Structure 1
Amino acid sequence: MSTAGKVIKCKAAVAWEPMKPLSIVEIEVAPPKAHEVRIKMSASGICRSDDHVLTGDLKVNFPIIIGHEGAGIVESSNFPLSILSITAPVGLMYDGTSRFTCEGKPLHNFAGTSTFSEYTVVHEDSVAKVDPSAPLERVCLFGCSFSTGYGAAINTAKVRPGSTCAVFGLGGVGLSAIMGCKAAGASRIIAVDINKEKFPKAKELGATECVDPLDYKKPINEVLFDMTDGEGVEYSFEVVGTPETLAAALASCHLNYGKCIAVGVPPSASEMTFSPALVFIGRSLKGSLFGGWKGKEPVPKLVSDFMEKKFVLDPLVSHTLPFEKINEGFELLRAGKSIRTVLKFQSP
C-alpha cells in the first residue's frame, strides 16, 4: 500500500532536553510539501556535532530530532540519497513549520535533515542523488565527516605537494583531513591528539608522525616548531572545536605563510582571543564548512570516486550498531572509543 501523501508513524530518537539520553519514541511524519522529499533512512553516522546538541554546547530549540549524516531511499522514487544541510538553528522547514510531531506536539529538526528517525522530510536543497549500487552504510559519511575533513585539505587549504601539515583531533573528520592531506601530496602529516589509541589508525590513513600534547611540558605549538626545525607547519587543521585548540593550531603555523583551517564546530557561546601578532606577518586563519564543497553537486562525484576505489572508508567506521542502540553509540563517542559509529535502520 502506498504511503505517498499520508502521515507515517515511525520510531525516532528524540532529545527532549539537554544532558539527557535520547528517547526512542513513536512519532508522526507528515507528507512532504512543495520542493521537499520524505526519505526512509537506511544508515546514519553519529557526529560530535550531534553530541554538542545533547551536552548543550550547541544551542538549538528542544524537543528535537538530531542527526545530520545519513543515507536513505526516497519514499516514492526508490533511489539512494546522501543527506546534507547546514541551516540556522531554528529547527523548522523553510515555511516555518515542522514535519514531525509526537502525541500532537511539534518536534524540531536539526540542520534541516534529522537523520535519527526512521523517516525524515528534507528540502530538495539537502539531498543528493548518488550511485544506487553504493553501500548506504558508507555513503552516509559523505553527509558530513569524510566530505568535511577531506575537503578541508583539498578545497579549503589547497594543500600543496611536499608540504608539512598538522591535524588536531583524530575523530572521523580529522582522519578524513589526514586522508585529504595525503591525497594532495603532503610529505609530512603530523597527527595531534590526547588519545594515543587513535594513533595507529592515523598512521594507517597517512599520518607520518603522531604527537600527544600531554607528553610535553611546553605548549604543543612549540613542540611542532621544534619538530619542523623552527619553521612551523605550512597547514594546520583544527578538528576539535575548542578556542584553545584553534589558538594552538594557528600558533603552530609558519610565521609568514602558514594556513590554519578551522574545521571543528565550536560551542555556541565560545569566544577566541589571540594576539594580532599571530597573523600580522602572514599567517592566515580560515573557516571550512562542509569541506569547502559548494552545494550538493560534488557529493555524487565523491561517491563515484569511492566506488572506483580512489579512497577507502572502512577504516573510518569503528562501530556499526542497530538504530535502537543509539545511546550506546554516543557513549562510545564520549569515551573516545569510536572513530565513527554508523547506525543501521531495519529494512522494510
Structure 2
Amino acid sequence: MSSTTQVITCKAAICWEVGKPATVEEIQVDPPKATEVRVKMLCASLCHTDISSIQGFPHNKFPLALGHEGVGFVESVGDEVKNLKEGDLIIPTYVGECKKCENCVSVKTNLCLTYPVRFTGLMPDNTSRLSIRGQRLYHVLSCATWSEYVVVDVNYLLKVDPSINLAYASFISCGFATGYGAAWKEARVKSGSTVAVFGLGAVGLGAISGAKMMGASKIIGVDKNEMKREKGEVFGLTHFINPSGSDKSASELVKEVNGGIGVDYSFECTGVPSLLNVSIEATKLGTGKTIAIGSGVENIVPLDLIAIIFGRTLKGSVFGGLKTISDLSIVADKCQKEELPLHELLTHEVPLSEINKAFELLKQPNCVKVVIKM
C-alpha cells in the first residue's frame, strides 16, 4: 500500500483560462495510485513552453496546474513501485521509457509506445490527482511542477544523485537537455562538421553544447539578442550572427560565415514558424539536416518544398531524442559532476508566490532561465 493515504493541501500556480495570469492558490493532491509516486517539489524553472501552456498549447484544458520543469524528492509511493522509495531525489519528465516496446529497443527514437507523451493533461488512467475546491485540475504534460506536491507515474521519472545542484537538475528536465540531446541523439552530429543554431535560449545553448561534445568544428549561433553572444561562447559557440542589422536573410548570413555554402546541421529552437524554412535553407544542398525542436501555439507551418526536394532532411524532435532512463541519466551524471556550464543558464530566481514576475523576467534580454523556489 502507499506509505500515506492522506490528501495533501498545498500551494500551486494555477491558470483558469486561456491568456489569464497565473494565480497561486491552495489545491488538494491525492495520494499516489499503484504505479505512481507523490513528489515534494524542491525547485522548478520556467521556459517558453510554459508561456505557450497558458495560451492553450499543447492542450486547451483548464483549470491548469502549471509547470513542467523541476526536481523534487519522493514523499510517498504506490504499492507497485519497486525502483523508488521515500526520500529519493527525482526529475520528472514527459517522455516515458518501458525498455521493451519497438521504439524503446530501437536506437531511432525515444518515443515510447507504452508510456507516450501525454497531451491530455491527465494521468495515464485519464484521471487527475490534483483538484481545487472540488474541481479537477489538469497539468501541462506528465505533471505540474509549479506545485508544492505533485503525483507522477513512475515511468516518467529519473532518480538522480542527491548531491546534484537542484537548479541545474531542473534545467535538464526539459530545456537544456532537449537541445543537448538534439545534437547528440537526434542529429548525431559528426566530428568536424558545421552547425547552425537558431535561437540561443536554454534549448539553443544545449544544442551548442551537444554539438561541441560531438566534435563539430564550426558552431554558428543566430539570435537577435546581442547579449546571447557571450552566453553562446561559454557553451562552445564559434560564430555569432545577429540578423536584425542586415537586409539579408539569416540563412544567407549563415552561408557567408561558412564559405558560401550551407552547414551540415541546423537546429530550429525558437518555434517561430517563419524560421523553420530559414533553418532548412541554411543547410547544405543534398546532405543538410535540420532538427525542428521549437514549438508553440502556432504549429501549422508552410513548408518550402523546393528546399527539401534538393536533398535536405527535416526531422522533428521531442525531448531531444533522449530516453528518460538510458540517456537522461548520462546528462544528469554530467550535471552532477558539473561537466556542463549550467551555472551560465541561471539568471533569475523568484518564489512560487511571485510566479507572474517570472513571466515578466523571461522577457528581459539578459534572462535565460528563471528558477522558481518552492
Would you call these one fold, judging by a TM-score over 0.5? yes
Residues 41 and 118 of structure 1 are in contact (CA less than 8 Å); yes or no, is this contact kept in structure 2? yes
- Would you say 1:109 and 2:118 are equivalent positions? no
CA distance in 2, matches of 1:275, 1:168: 17
Larger mean Cα displacement after TM superposition, 292-301 or 219-228? 292-301
Q: Does the residue aligned with 1:166 lie in a helix, a strand or coil?
A: strand
CA distance in 2, matches of 1:182, 1:214: 26
Residues 130 and 299 of structure 1 are in contact (CA less than 8 Å); yes or no, is this contact kept in structure 2? no
CA distance in 2, matches of 1:63, 1:97: 14
CA distance in 2, matches of 1:337, 1:56: 27
Give ranges in structure 2 of 5+ residues lacking alignment: 77-85, 96-116
Aligned residue for 2:280? Answer: 250
Q: Once the 2 structures are TM-superposed, how far is the Cα of residue 46 of structure 1 from its aligned partner?
A: 0.2
Matches within 5 A, 1:116-131: 116-131=146-161
Aligned residue for 1:317? Answer: 346
Alignment deviations for residues 64-93 of structure 1 (CA, whole Å, 9 cap, x no partner): 012111100100300100110153322111
Aligned residue for 2:326? Answer: 297
**Percentage of pairs with the same residue:** 40
Residues 113 and 126 of structure 1 are in contact (CA less than 8 Å); yes or no, is this contact kept in structure 2? no
Larger mean Cα displacement after TM superposition, 78-87 or 295-304? 295-304
Aligned residue for 1:18? Answer: 18
CA distance in 2, matches of 1:212, 1:334: 18
Aligned residue for 2:373? Answer: 344
Q: Does the residue aligned with 1:143 lie in a helix, a strand or coil?
A: coil
Residues 170 and 191 of structure 1 are in contact (CA less than 8 Å); yes or no, is this contact kept in structure 2? yes
Amino acid at match of 1:38: R
Q: Once the 2 structures are TM-superposed, how far is the Cα of residue 135 of structure 1 from its aligned partner?
A: 2.0
Q: Once the 2 structures are TM-superposed, how far is the Cα of residue 96 of structure 1 from its aligned partner?
A: 1.7
Amino acid at match of 2:23: S
- Would you say 1:79 and 2:99 are equivalent positions? no
TM-score, normalized by length of structure 2?
A: 0.88
- Would you say 1:70 and 2:100 are equivalent positions? no
Q: Does the residue aligned with 1:318 lie in a helix, a strand or coil?
A: strand
Amino acid at match of 2:267: F
Q: Does the residue aligned with 1:114 lie in a helix, a strand or coil?
A: coil
Q: Does the residue aligned with 1:55 lie in a helix, a strand or coil?
A: coil
Residues 65 and 137 of structure 2 are in contact (CA less than 8 Å); yes or no, is this contact kept in structure 1? yes
Larger helix share, 1 or 2 = 1
Aligned residue for 1:284? Answer: 313
Aligned residue for 2:262? Answer: 232
Aligned residue for 2:101? Answer: none
CA distance in 2, matches of 1:308, 1:88: 31
Q: Does the residue aligned with 2:169 lie in a helix, a strand or coil?
A: helix
Aligned residue for 1:188? Answer: 218
Larger mean Cα displacement after TM superposition, 55-64 or 134-143? 55-64
Aligned residue for 2:294? Answer: 264
CA distance in 1, matches of 2:357, 2:119: 26
Residues 61 and 89 of structure 1 are in contact (CA less than 8 Å); yes or no, is this contact kept in structure 2? no
Larger mean Cα displacement after TM superposition, 201-210 or 31-40? 201-210
Q: Once the 2 structures are TM-superposed, how far is the Cα of residue 128 of structure 1 from its aligned partner?
A: 0.8
Q: Once the 2 structures are TM-superposed, how far is the Cα of residue 55 of structure 1 from its aligned partner?
A: 3.1
Aligned residue for 1:38? Answer: 38
Aligned residue for 1:59? Answer: 59
Give ranges in structure 1 of 5+ residues lacking alignment: none
TM-score, normalized by length of structure 1?
A: 0.94
Q: Does the residue aligned with 2:172 lie in a helix, a strand or coil?
A: helix
Residues 80 and 136 of structure 1 are in contact (CA less than 8 Å); yes or no, is this contact kept in structure 2? no
Q: Does the residue aligned with 2:362 lie in a helix, a strand or coil?
A: helix
Amino acid at match of 2:144: S
CA distance in 1, matches of 2:125, 2:55: 28
CA distance in 2, matches of 1:229, 1:135: 41
CA distance in 2, matches of 1:88, 1:41: 21
Q: Once the 2 structures are TM-superposed, how far is the Cα of residue 229 of structure 1 from its aligned partner?
A: 2.0
1:155 to 185, 189, 201: 185
Residues 38 and 74 of structure 1 are in contact (CA less than 8 Å); yes or no, is this contact kept in structure 2? yes
- Would you say 1:139 and 2:174 are equivalent positions? no
- Would you say 1:329 and 2:338 are equivalent positions? no
Residues 137 and 344 of structure 1 are in contact (CA less than 8 Å); yes or no, is this contact kept in structure 2? no
Residues 93 and 324 of structure 2 are in contact (CA less than 8 Å); yes or no, is this contact kept in structure 1? no
CA distance in 2, matches of 1:94, 1:335: 37
1:274 to 303, 307, 320: 303
